[in-house]
Structure 1
Amino acid sequence: MTQQAEATRRVPLNRDRVLTAAVVLADEAGIESLSMRRLAQELGVVPMALYKHVANKEELLDGMVDVLVAEIDPPVSDAGWKNAVRLRVLSARRSLLRHPWARQVLESRSARTPAVLGYMDSFIGMFLAGGFSVDLTHHVMHALGSRMWGFTQELFDDSAGAAPVEPAPEIQAAMLQEMAKRYPNILRVAMAAEHDDGSVVSQGCDDQFEFEFALDLLLDGFERFHQQGWTSERARLER
């Protein structure tokens, strides 16, 4: 047994240490490699020791999301609602990019922890503090969707999160030729720009520029509706 392992055993086990180790393991080995048994090995404890701090793997994953939320910067005071929202979204995206597993886990959560609810509440609060009506804020949050977590559904992604298999060059050329015949508009748009692989959350076109471009379009639209005193038809009928 190494001195490092002995030192690890001497550090008292608590929930924060379990969650931090789980995040590190998922970052390094992938979320598929995360199990209670593997995590216990990393911590130098028996698997049953973990259950004193997390009831099961689902609670472990919820806790990992809480770690992710804690990394997101709080709202910037005196920045104006538009800049505050933009900064917060981009902070969430930076956190997401640091943890390749984060999007998959976020999308798999069926229950919201207090940390997640707190993040959502403070996010909504930025619009309300900016003078948005409750009605407009409701629709704004629908429009933002998963973008408040730093990711969006990717238009040209058909890999469903799986690692793409590169076909042989001659097969790829034939596929592109067939695509050009059948779906010329899709191919033209999909091939129009190069993407920065280092900034992509998953496979596809959602690189940093595309993300910020769409975010700014939304924020500009929210600002225009707010200035116009926009109200939904349903809210008008309920008055």
Structure 2
Amino acid sequence: MAEQTETLRRVPLNRDRVLRTAVTLADDIGIESLSMRKLAQELGVVPMALYKHVTNKDELLDGMIDVVVREIDPPEDGTDWKAAIRQRILAARRTMLRHPWASRAIETRQVPTPAVLAYLDAMIGAFRTGGFSADLTHHVVHAMGSRILGFTQELFTPQAAPADSTVVARELTSTYPHLAEIAMAAAHEDTSVVGSGCDDQFEFEFALDLLLDGFERLHEQHWTSAPRARGHHAGQAPAHKRREPVSDRPELGRTGF
């Protein structure tokens, strides 16, 4: 152990090494358990040495997010907009699954980090290159929310399965028959975070494909939001006077889309 620590001390400390070590440590122990002290210990330096490269924990977290987002593979060359967007989002999902803490960390940021902004800019560029108008692309980004970064915000926090799941299932069927019916109608897996027994990957791709198919239809119809500014439904303010709600995804809602 002493020899390993001495080896670490001999490797020059720089910002990239600090951030990548922090990412690996967060993968191992969780973002909640990550501290400057533990990171310094992992690097074999005193905690004060870290502050030459990151001024505080927030800057460290921003840098870690950028490291993760830059891992997302670009789409293959020559693919059409729909395939390119799908490939990139599924690549983002694989990246987020490798770093389970990253999606929550992204959601906590008040301002998107440089890598997140660059990623969003590239995704918007893919829609625009595919012929989407700036108007339609604006609404597409809102519709996708955090899914564009490979994750979704679920309705409920995942909980451990109850000790007697048979009793719970029987009570569910009796009290909430429609919920029970659809719960038993689809594929199941024990590690789901979407809902008890749901196939997370299938559900993610199902919703993604629904969105992409809808975007394609609107694109082919040359959809525009302009008519909504001229004629509005009774009891609703004209579009130009309505205040558009801020996205419930902090990383998107703060960009000004």
Q: Would you say same fold, with TM above 0.5? A: yes
CA distance in 2 between partners of 1:76 and 1:235 (Å): 37
**Map of 1:62 onto structure 2:** 62
The answer to whether the 8 A contact 2:187-2:199 is kept is: no
Q: What is the Cα deviation at residue 234 of structure 1?
A: 5.2
- Superimposed CA distance per residue, residues 148-168 of structure 1 (whole angstroms, 9 cap, x where no aligned partner): 11112335xx3x25xx23333
**Map of 2:163 onto structure 1:** 168
SS at match of 1:195: coil
Aligned ranges for residues 105-184 of structure 1 at < 5 Å?
105-155=105-155, 158=156, 160-161=157-158, 164-169=159-164, 172-184=165-177
CA distance in 1 between partners of 2:190 and 2:102 (Å): 17
The answer to whether the 8 A contact 1:197-1:207 is kept is: no
Q: Which structure has the highest helix share of the two? A: 1
The answer to whether the 8 A contact 2:136-2:225 is kept is: yes
CA distance in 1 between partners of 2:171 and 2:228 (Å): 49
CA distance in 1 between partners of 2:174 and 2:13 (Å): 61
Percent identity between the aligned chains?
A: 63
CA distance in 2 between partners of 1:65 and 1:234 (Å): 39
1:217 aligns with 2:210: yes
The runs of 5 or more residues in structure 1 that have no matched partner are none
Q: What is the Cα deviation at residue 233 of structure 1?
A: 4.0
CA distance in 1 between partners of 2:130 and 2:183 (Å): 37
Q: What is the count of residue pairs matched by the alignment?
A: 229
Q: Cα RMSD over matched residues?
A: 2.0
**Map of 1:79 onto structure 2:** 79
Q: What is the Cα deviation at residue 197 of structure 1?
A: 4.9
Change (3 A) 1:42 1:224: same
Q: What is the Cα deviation at residue 18 of structure 1?
A: 0.6
Q: What is the Cα deviation at residue 51 of structure 1?
A: 0.9
Q: What is the Cα deviation at residue 184 of structure 1?
A: 1.2
SS at match of 1:13: coil
The answer to whether the 8 A contact 1:154-1:206 is kept is: no
Change (3 A) 1:203 1:45: farther
The answer to whether the 8 A contact 2:75-2:85 is kept is: yes
**Map of 2:250 onto structure 1:** none
The answer to whether the 8 A contact 2:36-2:57 is kept is: yes
1:185 aligns with 2:215: no
CA distance in 1 between partners of 2:94 and 2:30 (Å): 18
TM-score, normalised on structure 1? 0.88
CA distance in 1 between partners of 2:219 and 2:211 (Å): 12
CA distance in 2 between partners of 1:105 and 1:15 (Å): 19
The runs of 5 or more residues in structure 2 that have no matched partner are 231-238, 240-257
SS at match of 1:71: coil
Change (3 A) 1:227 1:116: same
CA distance in 1 between partners of 2:202 and 2:154 (Å): 13
Change (3 A) 1:197 1:79: farther
The answer to whether the 8 A contact 2:189-2:199 is kept is: no
TM-score, normalised on structure 2? 0.82
Matched to 1:210, the amino acid is E
**Map of 2:10 onto structure 1:** 10
CA distance in 2 between partners of 1:197 and 1:174 (Å): 18
